[in-house]
Every structure is written in structure tokens, then in C-alpha cells.
């Protein structure tokens, strides 16, 4: 139960807002916080599936769409749910009103994956002073030219954390369709365990390699400003997972915290790269200029001979990546471009890697035992990621989860089922 008089930013995901009945359920949760004497701002996502529908409309209209007009289209989903929730809260007798990103304003740069530059909280402070509830569409801001800007997929999480930081909130609660952060996707591994506490650092890595609970940027922002972050279920009154700076050490803490997978990767191979200075720079510069994130770079180079270069990009950026590389190819930067979307990135994450050798070897051995071929590898201080065929996704996640001792005991599963 929250302390009386806290300032809270509550964020509700797409499944929480999927239809009027669920919006009423969200309104009940907001009303409970207000009844406890808390100052509340609410950030909402579009209804489940709505952003995907809008993105597809953009692709159907123009495969190489204008990012500015893309933002105009996809930002509409959150505006609908913000208005509907405000209406529902008003119907309960609460002083609620929706505020678009440009009305606060939330200042952002760029389009499609804009960065938040700042938030003016004067409007929010007036709402709090009047004991009101601000309902804000996530995922959107406004550029210095007055155009709509969106923050990239999952950007409502970032909106919520940024608002919490700007408004000096006591905490930011992220409500979603799961009751916390698990050791892996429980739909793939029924023996996955919910984690009571995860460090910012671990959550940042898990989010970056495919865990869908939180957007990467939102975790980084919370980590930078020390904003208390909590992941909770929208549908059940259960304890969630706290994201903290340092969970301390315990004797039984696992070396590995979780296994994540990401199906939203596309594989690009460029063949016939000439062996001369500046070749690789000429390839990645246009991708950077186009705002495309590149991951898992592998180059097979032989002195004096032509080489191949392989890297991954988000699936949604594949068409733009190929388009950006076309001029490089014409200028003799490489010979051919080959793409593949039937891949998945699987990662093991845990701060225990810092003090325990052999994690990568154990991961590779486990996959080899099941005849799962590794296409590419990337590492960080607390993460090892591999790229494999998408056909082996579930098998890889299950065997790694078991190999690193993350399966819940059968007795715990039986107790949960009985409850």
C-alpha cells in the first residue's frame, strides 16, 4: 500500500487499455491511488494491436514513408486512449483531463525514434495544485518546429519515466499484462520464476535484448536519475518487481538473472568489401544518418583480399537500411547485399558474470549439444548474445534456462497453481 501523499506516475500498456471495460478497470486503479491522497499523472499506450495496425497502414501507403507523416499517423492511437480514460475518470466524479504531448509540452527532437529534450511541468504542477489527474498519451512529443514526434516502439515507458523525473515523482509504476519481470518468457518456459528485484543494469540489458516488459530507453532514464521503478500487473493485485540501483548480494543469488530473446532482428550481409581504409565507415555512416541502430557486427577480413561484413538491424528498419546502402554499393563500396529475417537473438544476462568465468563457454556448449548453430555473437560485461535460426528459438531458451539453474522448483509451481 503506497504512503499517503506521494506523487506517482502510473503508466498503462496496450493490453490494459484494450477496450472500454479494461479502461474502466484502469480508472478504478487510478481512483484508488487518488483516494489514498496521492497526486497522480497517468500515461497511456494505444489499445493493444492499434499501433501495429497504424504502422502497417503507413507501410501500405508508402514502403519508404516520410518519418514526419508516420508520426502523425501512429501518434493517434495514444490520443484515443487518453481521451477515453479521461472521460471515464470524469464519469466517476474525478477531476481528470487529457493533455497531449504538445500541450505540456514534451519537447523532442527528430521523428520515429525521437529523443526527449525536456518537459515543461508547469501545466502538471497546476493540475496537482487543483487536485486533478493529468492523463497523457505516451510515445509522443513535439519538435521545435511544432510537429508531432514519436519516441519509437515502447516509447510510452520512456514518456512515463521522463514525466516522473521532470515532476520529481516519488515513483513510476508500469502496469502491464504480466505481474513482474521473469527469468524468461513464461509462455515458453512454464518453470520461469518471477523476480522480486532486478538491478537497473540487468534490466537495461534484458530490455535491450528482447525482454518486452520495459523499453530500453525508459530503464536507462530511470537509472540515470535514480527513479524508483516498479512493474505490476494491470489485472491482478499482486506484488510486482522493483527495479533498483543495487539489490545487494545474497548467498543464493544466481549468476544469471534471465534469458531473453528478440525476434525483431534482420540480418544483413554485404559481400566483396575492398580492403582499404574507410570502407566500413562508408557503410555505417549512411545508416547512422538515417537513424538506424546497428547491432552484432561480424567481419570476415583477409589482408589484401575482399571481405564480407554482417550485421543486424531492427526488422522495421530493413527496407530503409537497404535503401541507405544502395548508393554505397553503386560507389563500389561492396558487391552484393543479402538479407535474412528468419533469425532470432538469444541472450543470457546477469551481474554475476563479472566474477564468474566460463559463462559464454557454458552457453555455447549447451546450444551445441542440441545442434543449434550460432551465426553471430556479441558480448558486454554482464551479457552474452548469440544469433541463431528462428526455428530454434523456444528450444534454445528452454535449454539455457535449465542449464543456468533458473527453473523454478516443482513444489513452487504446484503451490502457485493451488493458489
Provide the pLDDT for residue 162: 96
In a domain, 120, yes or no: yes
Predicted pLDDT at 214: 87
> Does 344 fall in a domain?
no
Which pLDDT value is given to residue 253?
57
Count structural domains, the chain. 1
Q: Give the model's pLDDT for residue 402.
A: 96
371: left (phi over 0), alpha (psi -120 to 50) or beta: left
Closest listed residue to residue 215, CA positions, set 73, 384, 11: 11
pTM over 0.75: yes
Is 97 within the bounds of a domain? yes
Asked if residue 48 belongs to a domain, the reply is yes
- Residue 64: the pLDDT is 87
Question: Three cell numbers at 237?
Answer: 493485485
Phi and psi at 214, nearest 5°, equal -135, 145
171-176 and 229-233 as β-strands: parallel, antiparallel, unpaired?
Answer: parallel
Residue with cell 497517468: 42
> Looking at the DSSP assignment, which residues form a beta bridge with residue 174?
11, 231
Kindly write down the DSSP assignment for every residue of 42-61, as one continuous string. Answer: EEEPPPTTHHHHHHHHHHHH
DSSP 317: G
Give domain status of residue 161, yes or no.
yes
For the chain (419 residues), the mean pLDDT of every run of 10, in chain order, is 75 94 96 95 96 94 92 95 98 97 93 91 94 96 94 90 96 92 91 91 82 85 94 90 72 76 92 90 93 87 79 92 92 92 93 84 96 91 92 96 87 43
Does some domain include residue 367? no
Q: Are 179 and 240 in contact (CB under 8 A)?
A: yes
Please check whether residue 244 lies inside any domain of the structure: no
Residue 122 lies in a domain: yes
Q: Which residues pair with 197 in a beta bridge?
A: 242
CATH number at residue 90: 3.40.1160.10
Q: What is the pLDDT of residue 302?
A: 66
Helix (H) or strand (E) holding 5: none
Residues of the domain holding 50: 7-177
Amino acid at each position: 500500500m503506497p504512503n499517503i501523499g506521494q506523487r506517482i506516475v502510473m503508466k498503462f500498456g496496450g493490453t490494459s487499455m484494450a477496450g472500454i471495460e479494461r479502461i474502466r478497470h484502469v480508472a478504478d486503479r487510478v481512483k484508488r491511488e487518488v483516494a489514498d491522497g496521492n497526486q497522480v499523472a497517468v500515461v497511456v499506450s494505444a489499445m493493444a494491436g492499434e499501433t501495429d495496425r497504424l504502422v502497417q497502414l503507413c507501410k501500405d501507403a508508402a514502403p519508404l514513408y516520410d518519418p514526419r507523416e508516420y508520426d502523425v499517423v501512429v501518434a493517434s492511437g495514444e490520443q484515443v486512449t487518453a481521451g477515453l480514460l479521461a472521460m471515464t475518470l470524469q464519469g466517476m466524479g474525478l477531476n481528470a483531463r487529457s493533455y497531449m504531448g504538445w500541450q505540456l509540452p514534451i519537447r523532442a527532437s527528430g521523428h520515429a525514434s525521437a529523443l526527449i529534450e525536456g518537459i515543461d511541468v508547469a501545466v502538471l504542477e497546476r493540475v496537482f495544485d487543483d487536485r486533478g489527474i493529468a492523463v497523457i498519451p505516451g510515445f509522443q512529443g513535439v519538435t521545435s518546429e511544432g510537429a508531432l514526434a514519436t519516441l519509437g516502439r515502447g516509447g510510452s515507458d520512456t514518456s512515463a519515466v521522463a514525466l516522473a523525473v521532470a515532476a520529481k515523482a516519488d515513483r513510476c509504476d508500469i502496469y502491464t499484462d504480466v505481474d513482474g519481470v521473469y527469468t524468461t518468457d513464461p509462455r515458453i518456459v512454464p518453470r520461469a520464476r518471477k523476480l522480486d528485484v532486478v538491478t537497473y543494469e540487468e534490466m537495461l540489458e534484458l530490455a535491450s535484448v528482447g525482454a518486452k516488459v520495459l523499453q530500453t530507453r525508459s530503464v536507462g532514464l530511470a537509472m540515470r536519475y535514480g527513479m524508483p521503478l516498479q512493474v505490476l500487473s494491470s489485472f491482478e493485485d499482486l506484488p510486482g518487481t522493483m527495479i533498483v540501483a543495487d539489490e545487494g548480494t545474497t548467498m543464493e543469488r544466481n549468476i544469471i538473472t534471465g534469458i531473453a530473446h528478440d525476434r525483431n532482428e534482420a540480418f544483413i550481409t554485404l559481400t566483396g568489401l575492398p580492403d582499404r581504409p574507410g570502407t566500413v565507415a562508408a557503410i555505417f555512416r549512411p545508416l547512422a544518418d538515417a537513424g538506424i541502430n546497428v547491432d552484432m557486427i561480424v567481419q570476415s577480413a583477409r589482408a589484401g583480399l575482399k571481405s564480407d561484413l554482417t550485421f543486424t538491424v531492427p526488422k522495421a528498419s530493413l527496407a530503409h537500411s537497404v535503401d541507405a546502402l544502395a548508393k554505397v554499393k553503386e560507389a563500389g563500396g561492396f558487391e552484393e547485399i543479402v538479407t535474412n529475417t528468419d533469425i532470432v537473438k538469444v541472450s543470457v544476462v546477469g551481474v554475476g558474470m563479472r566474477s564468474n568465468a566460463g559463462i559464454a563457454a557454458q552457453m555455447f556448449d549447451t546450444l551445441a549439444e542440441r545442434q543449434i548453430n550460432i551465426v553471430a555473437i556479441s558480448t558486454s560485461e554482464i551479457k552474452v548474445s548469440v544469433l541463431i535460426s528462428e526455428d530454434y528459438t523456444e528450444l534454445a531458451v528452454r535449454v539455457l534456462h535449465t542449464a543456468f539453474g533458473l527453473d523454478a522448483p516443482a513444489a513452487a509451481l504446484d503451490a502457485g497453481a493451488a493458489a
